[in-house]
Amino acid sequence: AVPDADYYTVKYSPDTTTPWEECEEVYRTTSFLKFQEEETQCVVEDRYGQYLVACTDTSGNEGEPGQAIRDGGLADWVLLKSISGNPSWFGTTDEMYVQAPNLYLDLNSPIVNGVQTGTYVYRENVDFYIPVSIRIVDDQLIFNGQEDDVVTHEWRNVEGGHTDWKVFDDDVIDVLGTVEFRIKYISPDTDFAAINYVKFSRILVYITDPKAGG
C-alpha cells in the first residue's frame, strides 16, 4: 500500500477510452486508517473492457488511476452500445414478471416437457442501415434459481436472415436492419416453492465502424 493511503477505488467501463470520472465504481477498500491493514485485495468480475484503480490518501487527494484492459480479442472493435435490463426491466415479458429490481420466472407458467420457460425481450435494440459485422458480448447475466436452471442471452436479426433466436457466442455476425435481444429462462419442474429470478443483465455490442449503426 502507499504509505499515506486511506483507501483504493476500483472502477469499470466496457469502453477502454472512458475517463475515470465516467466509469462505474465496482469496489472500494475499507479505510486503512480505521483497520490498519498493510495489504488488501479484491476480486472483480471477468468482463470485457477496462478496470481502473486509484488511491485516495489520508488528506483526501486522489491519485492518478492505473488501468487494466481485458479485450478478449476486441481490441480492434468499438463499443457501439451497452444495454442493461435491471433495475427497471422495461422490455416485454412472456411467462415472467417484474418486481423491481428483479425479473422473476412465473411459477404458474405451463409445464412443457418437464420444464417451465419464460422470456424477456429487451426494449432496446440496435439498427443498421447497411450490412455490417458486429460482435455481441454477454457481459452480465446473474440469476438466482435451482441448480439445473438454464438462463441465456439470445439474439435475432430477421431482416438480415437470422430469423431464429440464437444463444450468444464470440463469433463475428453479419447483420442488416434491427438486431433484437432477449433473456430465456428454463427451469425444471422440480420445486414449486423455488424463487427463480434474474438480478443483473448487460449486453455489449461491438462494431468495426460505429458510423454504420445506432
The highest-confidence range among 30-34, 68-72, 107-111, 189-193, by mean pLDDT, is: 107-111
pLDDT of 213 reads 54
Q: What is the 3-state secondary structure (H, E, C) of the chain?
A: CCCCEEEEEEEEECCCCCCHHHCEEEEECCCHHHHCCCCCCCCCCCCCEEEEEEEEECCCCECCCEEEEECCCCCCCEEEEEEECCCCCCCEEECEEEECCEEEECCCCCCECCEEEEEEECCCCEEEEEEEEEEEEEEEEEEECCCCCEEEEEEEECCCCEEEEEECCCCCEEEEEEEEEEEEEEEECCCCCCCCEEEEEEEEEEECCHHHEC
Rounded mean pLDDT, 79-94: 92
Reply yes or no on whether the pLDDT at 34 is more than 90. no
pLDDT of 18 reads 86
Rounded mean pLDDT, 33-48: 63
Taking the model in full, what pTM does it have? 0.71
pLDDT of 214 reads 53
